[in-house]
Amino acid sequence: MRLSRFLQIICVCLTLVSGPLWADLVEYVVTGVDEPMLTNVRNHVTAFQIGSGARLNTRLRRNLTERAINASKAAMRPFGYFNPVVDVEITPVEGGSWLLTVNLVAGPPVIVKGMLLELTGPGRELKPLNDWYTNFPLAEEQVLNQQVWDSAKLEVLDLLEEAGYLQAKFSRHEIRVDPVANTSRLELIVDTGPQAVMGTVRFNQEIVNDAILASLQRFEQGDAYHAFLLEKFRLDLWRSGYFEDIEVVERRELTAKPPRVDFEVNVTPRKKNTYQGTIGYGTDTLARLQFFYGRHLISQRGDSFDLRVGWQQRDNQLSFLANYRLPRKTESRQFWIATLGLQTEDQKLKVSASDDLDNQVDAAKGTVNDYWLRLGKTRVRNMRGGFEQLFETVFVQFLNEKLNFQPADIIDPLSPDLPGSDPFYDLLENTSNTQAIGIDWAWPEIRGTGFHTVGHHERAWMFTSNDAWGSDLDFSQVYLSSRRNFLATDRLKILLRAEAGYSDSSSINVNVPTEGPDVSVVVTDLPNLYRFKAGGNQSVRGYGFETLDNNGLGSNNVFTASAEVEFRILEDWSIAAFVDVGNAFNDWSAPDLKLGSGFGVRWYSVVGALRLDFAQGWALEGDPWRFHLSIGTTLR
């Protein structure tokens, strides 16, 4: 008896799970309205399904019709239509199924005839809040849209939460609708409440000295709370390179006066060593290889070391760079830095009877070897209350440079300026030692991803070298550059950049003896490492990489500028048009700026923006087109 009862229960359960094979199916169609109302009505109507295994008899069809009418009316109200005409038909189709058709006539919309929108509380003067108030998406004589209303309410609470008004609320939020007159009145009063402040920060770790981590904070205890500063704190902890996982837990003490948010930081250590090799290609560098080794944490003092070895096909350039960084135990974020660099590359001395980029010939070719050591101190200065940061480095740099060139076949072997005579010989083979003292600034602020990457990046430096402290050469240099990207609309972006550099360094005139008439060239005394060159992807497009200078050996001064308009055509694709101008030169009275212009395509991939440009160099004979390929944001 018990076994029979048990089998009956099992059969009933299986029936409920699987459903009988003779259950009716219902398909739904909605007509008469467009998106987004169409989707909302369909979702409301299809939410009412007949029970498993039910047959659509007369009673069920009547109930389904009534439910569909009520659901359609409810789905139209958020869009301001309270009196739609709804007609529902249920008809059989082939295969034993049914088609439920909802025919809608929206009817007259509900119009906003009155509105009360107020800001109260200590934060009512907050600029983003007043921008929200000014641009409130509903106004009198507009169609009531409850989805827009709800979205605006969520937006203002998120805005106030981000700015530290963690107890913000609505003193009043009402929608009063007269469905007969199809009118409504909206009332919304936003009370910001008090602004919270930053509290204490506790680090639960023994990986690195707490004082080093405390210097990463862009805020002090008692500063106004802002979610952006907290996010930057997380990012700065990750960028330190010490940790794999980072968790910053907020402890909100909202009953305190003023309200306070304490933080608890939980971290796990990162692997101490990183090895990375890359292979790439760009029209500026051609093929390139790079190896990177990083020791992220040498000791609890927070010191780190990295090593970079690279080669690029352009100029057969081989480079080695070793960096050591030691944080200082100071309230502000500071580091001692040491950089050892070695670079060797092939270069050519190019000459022409006049400033003719199309008819230059190689007068000499050889190698330039640079060896340098930079020692200094970097200080991170918080700007705009920590929303941005300026990196300032005071340094001394020791440079040893060796030039080893050989005359080309065009040099007249019978010329009196043979090797061993001045000044042509000094131009071909020379060694110098310089010690420069200077200061360097970097001010990057980059936000967003993909096409919506915007911000700015300024660079500046000035340094001097003098025989008073043992340099072979006396010179000084000042440089300033700015790159700015901003969105004009959601699809239109403007990209601007400019740079100017000046070197107080002497230049010499050298007569290059050729098989024809001698060619006079002007050569700067600056070491090769400090010389300016223009042309290429990030300079003046339409010209080859670093081909705009004096005779291929670099110049004392530089000026370039660029304006670009980029238009997004697909989610990850855009097109661009640009104009570039500039040159590197020795005499500011005759900069001879070169013009380039063109168009490009951008693809925002997971590895960065791939930029493909076609540019025309207007100073070149025949106005030829040049292809440029690069990867990454222009703000770097």
Average pLDDT in the 575-601 region? 94
Average pLDDT in the 24-39 region? 86
Are both 293 and 346 inside the same structural domain? no
According to the model, what pLDDT value does residue 184 have?
94
> In which domain, by residue range, is 65 found?
15-105
Is 10 a member of any domain? no
Helices (H) and strands (E) in the chain — how many of each? 8, 27
Q: Which of 44, 73, 105 is the last residue of a domain?
A: 105
According to the model, what pLDDT value does residue 419 have?
45
* Distance between start and end Cα atoms, the chain: 82
According to the model, what pLDDT value does residue 552 have?
77
Is 357 a member of any domain? yes
According to the model, what pLDDT value does residue 64 have?
85
According to the model, what pLDDT value does residue 87 have?
92
Is 68 a member of any domain? yes
The band of 18, judged by pLDDT with boundaries at 50, 70 and 90, is very low
Indicate whether 19 pLDDT > 50.
no
Q: Which of 77, 105, 133 is the last residue of a domain?
A: 105
Are both 598 and 467 inside the same structural domain? yes
Quick: pLDDT tens for 41-52.
988 888 766 554
Are both 357 and 502 inside the same structural domain? yes
Domain of residue 248, CATH code: 3.10.20.310
Is 6 a member of any domain? no
- Cis amide linkage into residue 527, ω under 30° from 0: no
Are both 451 and 538 inside the same structural domain? yes
- Cis amide linkage into residue 36, ω under 30° from 0: yes
Q: How many percent of the chain have pLDDT more than 90?
A: 67
Are both 258 and 155 inside the same structural domain? no
Both tokens of 520, joined, read: 């006079």
Indicate whether 416 pLDDT > 60.
no
Place of tokens 């005839």: 113
The band of 355, judged by pLDDT with boundaries at 50, 70 and 90, is low
Q: How many percent of the chain have pLDDT more than 70?
A: 90
The band of 247, judged by pLDDT with boundaries at 50, 70 and 90, is very high
According to the model, what pLDDT value does residue 618 have?
93
Indicate whether 510 pLDDT > 80.
no
According to the model, what pLDDT value does residue 411 have?
63
According to the model, what pLDDT value does residue 427 have?
72
Are both 210 and 256 inside the same structural domain? yes
Is 8 a member of any domain? no
pTM for the complete prediction? 0.82
Indicate whether 512 pLDDT > 80.
no
Indicate whether 538 pLDDT > 80.
yes
Indicate whether 1 pLDDT > 60.
no
Q: Is the dihedral of CA 265, 271, 273, 277 positive or negative?
A: negative
- Cis amide linkage into residue 258, ω under 30° from 0: yes
The band of 413, judged by pLDDT with boundaries at 50, 70 and 90, is low
Average pLDDT in the 117-146 region? 94
Average pLDDT in the 580-602 region? 93
- Strand order across the beta sheet in which 26-31 lies: 26-31, 98-105, 85-92
Q: How many CA atoms lie within 13 A of 599 on its CB side?
A: 3
Q: How many CA atoms lie within 13 A of 136 on its CB side?
A: 24
Average pLDDT in the 243-270 region? 94
> CA 472 to CA 466: how far, in whole Å?
8
Are both 143 and 215 inside the same structural domain? no
Average pLDDT in the 550-571 region? 92
Are both 339 and 450 inside the same structural domain? yes
What is the tally of structural domains in the chain? 5
Are both 427 and 466 inside the same structural domain? yes
According to the model, what pLDDT value does residue 356 have?
64
Is 166 a member of any domain? yes
According to the model, what pLDDT value does residue 27 have?
85
Are both 585 and 524 inside the same structural domain? yes
According to the model, what pLDDT value does residue 424 have?
66
Are both 433 and 578 inside the same structural domain? yes
Quick: pLDDT tens for 57-108.
778 888 888 888 999 999 999 999 999 999 998 888 877 788 889 999 988 9
Quick: pLDDT tens for 265-316.
999 999 999 999 999 888 888 999 999 999 999 999 999 999 999 999 999 9
According to the model, what pLDDT value does residue 10 have?
44
Evaluate whether 630 touches 284 at the Cβ level (below 8 Å).
yes
Is 636 a member of any domain? no
> CA 225 to CA 259: how far, in whole Å?
10
Are both 585 and 447 inside the same structural domain? yes
Evaluate whether 249 touches 263 at the Cβ level (below 8 Å).
yes
